[in-house]
Amino acid sequence: MYALVTGGSRGIGRAIALRLARMGYNVVINYQSNKEAAEDTLHMLRELGVEAEALRFDVSNREETVAALQTWQQEHEGEYIEVLVNNAGIRRDNLLVWMEPEDFDRVLQTNLMSFYNVTRPLLIPMIVHKYGRIVNVASLSGQKGLPGQCNYSAAKGGLIAATKALAQEVGKKNITVNAVAPGFVRTDMVEGLDEAALKKQIPLNRFGEADEIAALVAFLASKDAGYITGECIAINGGLYS
């Protein structure tokens, strides 16, 4: 049993990878450049007694992504990735008037086009095996829209819509497709934000932890969640619903 977590070397992705390993999955983590973080995560995964491997590719690069996934498939004849977590993401915040075209494009490519690049090659094996779980890591920003994040809100909002569309395409094949929409979570991504000021707006009065997001993703990836599909579940300490 194999699971793939994109951007799985650190932050929320790493926490998800560890949860999936505890569920008994052999975990493939994708990473872009931080080999050291990927090695650390592989070590943690292997300590849990599962197989772990790292695949380096840029999820925004279609050719690179497809080639890496094809190679993995060739090296694992008879196996398939039954759990896919589209987690890799970046933000490049600015007010739209100041936002450079490359920051708009880069965020769309990494957070939304990546959904197509990674999911499509893995879908046929899931269909053939009549079982699959796809979980997309969206954001509060994609539900509500946040100022300074037209690019990120558009990408994550698009991801939520794609989740709902794909769920209807593949439900008959026993594949579920869901999204999670975290609020503020303590990872590298929120470095530089004023946590003390922001947490006053959060009913639970704190940022979330990566493992709290991972717990929800792991549930959606489990057999127990077999009747949930096309959903986007908010996990934001009560900030927005």
Give me the active site residues, please: 152
Q: Considering the complex, what minimum distance in angstroms separates the CB of residue 151 from ligand NAI?
A: 12
Q: Is position 143 an interface residue for ligand NAI (rule: CB under 6 A)?
A: no
Nearer to ligand NAI, 132 or 183 (CB): 183
SS3 107: helix
Q: Is position 185 an interface residue for ligand NAI (rule: CB under 6 A)?
A: yes
x/- letters, 114..133, toward ligand NAI (CB under 6 A): --------------------
Q: Which parts of 39-98 interact with ligand NAI (CB under 6 A)?
A: 58-60, 87-90
Nearer to ligand NAI, 106 or 164 (CB): 106
Nearer to ligand NAI, 41 or 229 (CB): 41
Nearest CA to 85 out of 206, 219, 235 is that of 219
Could you tell me the two tokens for 18? Answer: 């560890």
Strand ranges across the sheet with 2-5: 52-56, 26-31, 2-5, 81-86, 132-137, 175-182, 232-235
- Total Cβ atoms within 10 A of residue 191: 8
Q: Is position 202 an interface residue for ligand NAI (rule: CB under 6 A)?
A: no
Q: Considering the complex, what minimum distance in angstroms separates the CB of residue 118 from ligand NAI?
A: 9
Crossing angle of helices 114-129 and 150-170, in 10° steps, is: 20
Q: Which of 4, 10, 45, 68 binds ligand NAI (CB under 6 A)?
A: 10
Q: Which of 50, 104, 110, 232 binds ligand NAI (CB under 6 A)?
A: 110
Interface with ligand NAI (CB under 6 A), residue total 28
Cβ proximity of 105 and 150 under 8 Å: no
Q: What is the DSSP string of 20-66?
A: HHHTT-EEEEEESS-HHHHHHHHHHHHHTTS-EEEEE--TT-HHHHH
Cβ proximity of 51 and 189 under 8 Å: no
Give the contacts of 210 (CB within 8 A, at least 6 positions apart): 11, 12, 14, 15, 185, 186, 187
Q: Is position 215 an interface residue for ligand NAI (rule: CB under 6 A)?
A: no
x/- letters, 15..34, toward ligand NAI (CB under 6 A): ---------------xxx-x
Q: Is position 13 an interface residue for ligand NAI (rule: CB under 6 A)?
A: yes
Any alpha helices (H) in 91-231, and if so which ranges? Answer: 101-108, 114-129, 140-144, 150-170, 195-198, 210-221
Q: Is position 188 an interface residue for ligand NAI (rule: CB under 6 A)?
A: yes
Q: Which of 99, 146, 189, 228 binds ligand NAI (CB under 6 A)?
A: 189
Binding site for ligand NAI (CB under 6 A): 6-7, 9-13, 30-32, 34, 58-60, 87-90, 110, 137, 139, 182, 184-185, 187-190
